[in-house]
């Protein structure tokens, strides 16, 4: 009997999930487990790679046991992952030599300033589509090699391997037989030439990283290998890989040039399909690879927001004005607006389109009348304002107005936030029935590779709208709000 399901592994910044999809693209089973966040120093963020693997393995077992299926029932596995997070492990011991350095980590910011001072901004952008920033994997790899005793010697001997989380999971699932990544994850390392689709020898040399450490780069939809773990009684093909934001773009069926989505997760990530040619941004956005299927590579513009939904976690854990994240909408709804309070959540710096890695969070406009509800409202507004700034930059780069914004991720279920987003942008904000589009995109890529779905046209018919948020507020009120936000940004980005 033919396999009936696709298994998607969604390895995120704060939790690992496994989701089982059927042929109709419907969710049949979900399992999720959070894992520990480590903050050794201010601006440093780490994970334990073995804990990532353990959490992912446990949710795989839980998700398939929930509906009493096994490996024979699964046509393929798709992997989507937190991007840029950097893991280096030893081939002989199969153990990481240091904790995973998370994409949010800023420890290499000063070294990035050194690279900028050497006049390398244009060279690196022209090859990789990226700006020089501690966000990306390249400088994180260098830091590990420079700071872990014996690492450089082991690397020179060809005994170390680098991978983002996708590579680490494939390595563990295949028991070290397969060391691969896909073009989307490779394009986030600051070491990959997005034009010739190869690791760049000059950039590897610049950061003193041996090419022997690097995974083989594959397309986003093909069979990379088969599972060898005891999780499955039978071998299952691993047949799809994409970084989380690219997977969400595909899951949202943003397959035509000009289609745009925003994922409201720990951070927010706005991505716009630019077709088969990379568009060089004039407005501080990233040029990246959206996916590669067969021989065709699709490119995208991307704007990253470091702190999106995690600002709600900070209101809960840091400020203590809510007890659970789900309370934020009710609290914010008790006031008509933020009463002139603006919250720029630069808790780990500002990303696109400002790229100030030293900026820190700012709340302006506080008066004696300011309440916790106003702070909560300003926090949600800040997410929408940041998204607006990126969308505006994308419209300028494309020299065309945006038509609509597709949304997904946890915070997209916040109706107050989505309505304000539509008001700011002046276009419809469209939320699909299945907001787990990151996992869905990985499932689609995996299923297409093994013939579970015939082609993209078949997949496209499964995407359905749950709700459309239409802009409602008058433009004068919105224009005043935008001016207040611009002033708050100026107060956040202080002269150096």
User: Is 83 annotated among the ligand-binding residues?
Assistant: yes
- Domain carrying residue 148: 5-245
* Residue 405 placed within a domain: no
* Residue 399 placed within a domain: no
User: Is 404 annotated among the ligand-binding residues?
Assistant: no
Peptide bond before residue 363 is cis, with ω within 30 degrees of 0: no
* Residue 209 placed within a domain: yes
Give percent above pLDDT 70 in the chain.
99
Specify the CATH number for the domain of residue 220.
Answer: 3.30.420.40
User: Is 135 annotated among the ligand-binding residues?
Assistant: yes
pLDDT average, residue stretch 99-111? 93
Q: Specify whether the backbone of 343 is left (phi greater than 0), alpha (psi in -120 to 50) or beta.
A: beta
User: Is 316 annotated among the ligand-binding residues?
Assistant: no
* Residue 383 placed within a domain: no
354, two tokens: 């400002």
| Residue 1 pLDDT level (bands cut at 50, 70, 90) | very low
User: Is 38 annotated among the ligand-binding residues?
Assistant: no
User: Is 245 annotated among the ligand-binding residues?
Assistant: yes
pLDDT average, residue stretch 276-286? 90
* Residue 16 placed within a domain: yes
The tens digit of pLDDT for each residue in 138-190 reads: 999 999 999 999 999 999 999 999 999 999 999 999 999 999 999 999 999 99
Of the given ranges (137-141, 231-235, 482-486), which has the lowest mean pLDDT? Answer: 231-235
User: Is 123 annotated among the ligand-binding residues?
Assistant: no
Q: Are strands 15-21 and 74-81 parallel, antiparallel or unpaired?
A: unpaired
How far is it, in rounded angstroms, from Cα 409 to Cα 245?
10
- Residues 6 or more apart whose Cβ sits within 8 Å of residue 215: 161, 162, 163, 167, 179, 180, 181, 186
Looking at the 3D structure of the chain, how many domains does it have? Answer: 1
* Residue 110 placed within a domain: yes
* Residue 176 placed within a domain: yes
Residue with tokens 């496994």: 18
The tens digit of pLDDT for each residue in 162-175 reads: 999 999 999 999 99
* Residue 170 placed within a domain: yes
pLDDT average, residue stretch 446-458? 93
Q: Which is nearest to 389 in space by CA: 282, 283, 280, 237?
A: 283
Give percent above pLDDT 90 in the chain.
72
User: Is 15 annotated among the ligand-binding residues?
Assistant: yes
pLDDT of residue 28: 94
pLDDT average, residue stretch 300-316? 87
User: Is 13 annotated among the ligand-binding residues?
Assistant: yes
């Amino acid at each position: 009997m033919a396999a009936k399901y696709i298994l998607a592994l969604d390895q995120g910044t704060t939790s690992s999930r496994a989701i089982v999809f059927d042929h109709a693209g419907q969710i049949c089973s979900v399992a999720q487990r959070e894992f520990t966040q480590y903050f050794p120093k201010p601006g440093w963020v780490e994970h334990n790679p073995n804990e990532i693997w353990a959490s992912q393995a446990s949710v795989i077992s839980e998700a398939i046991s929930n509906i009493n299926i096994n490996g024979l029932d699964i046509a393929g596995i798709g992997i989507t992952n937190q991007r840029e997070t950097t893991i280096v492990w030893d081939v002989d011991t199969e153990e990481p030599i240091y904790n995973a350095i998370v994409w949010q980590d800023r420890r290499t910011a000063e070294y990035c300033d050194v690279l900028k001072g050497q006049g390398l901004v244009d060279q690196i952008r022209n090859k990789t589509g990226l700006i020089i920033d501690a966000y990306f994997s390249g400088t994180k790899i260098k830091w590990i090699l420079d700071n872990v005793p014996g690492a450089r010697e082991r690397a020179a001997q060809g005994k170390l391997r680098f991978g983002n989380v996708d590579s680490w999971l494939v390595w563990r699932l295949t028991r070290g037989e397969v060391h691969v990544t896909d073009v989307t994850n490779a394009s986030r390392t600051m070491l990959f030439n997005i034009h010739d689709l190869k690791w760049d020898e000059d950039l590897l040399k610049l950061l003193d990283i041996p090419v022997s450490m690097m995974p083989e780069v594959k397309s986003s939809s093909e069979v990379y290998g088969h599972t060898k773990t005891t999780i499955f009684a039978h071998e299952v093909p691993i047949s799809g890989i994409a970084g989380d934001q690219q997977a969400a773009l595909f899951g949202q069926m943003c397959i035509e040039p000009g289609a745009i989505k925003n994922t409201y997760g720990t951070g927010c990530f706005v991505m716009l399909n630019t077709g088969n040619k990379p568009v060089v941004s004039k407005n501080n956005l990233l040029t990246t690879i959206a996916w590669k299927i067969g021989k065709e590579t699709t490119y995208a513009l991307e704007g990253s927001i470091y702190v999106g939904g995690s600002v709600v976690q900070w209101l809960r854990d840091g400020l203590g004005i809510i007890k659970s994240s789900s309370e934020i909408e009710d609290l914010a709804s008790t006031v008509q607006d933020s009463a002139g309070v603006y919250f720029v959540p630069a808790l780990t710096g500002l990303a696109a389109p400002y790229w100030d890695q030293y900026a820190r969070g700012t709340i302006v406009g506080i008066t004696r009348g300011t309440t916790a509800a106003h702070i909560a409202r300003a926090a949600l507004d800040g997410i929408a304002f940041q998204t607006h700034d990126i969308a505006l930059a994308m419209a300028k780069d494309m020299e065309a107005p945006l038509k609509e914004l597709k949304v997904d991720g946890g915070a997209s279920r916040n109706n107050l936030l989505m309505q304000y987003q539509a008001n700011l942008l002046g276009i419809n904000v469209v939320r699909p029935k299945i907001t787990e589009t990151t996992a869905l995109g990985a499932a689609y890529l995996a299923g297409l590779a093994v013939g579970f779905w015939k082609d993209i046209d078949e997949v496209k018919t499964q995407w359905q709208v749950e709700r459309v948020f239409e802009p409602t507020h008058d433009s004068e009120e919105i224009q005043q709000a935008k001016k207040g936000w611009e002033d708050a940004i100026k107060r956040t980005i202080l002269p150096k």
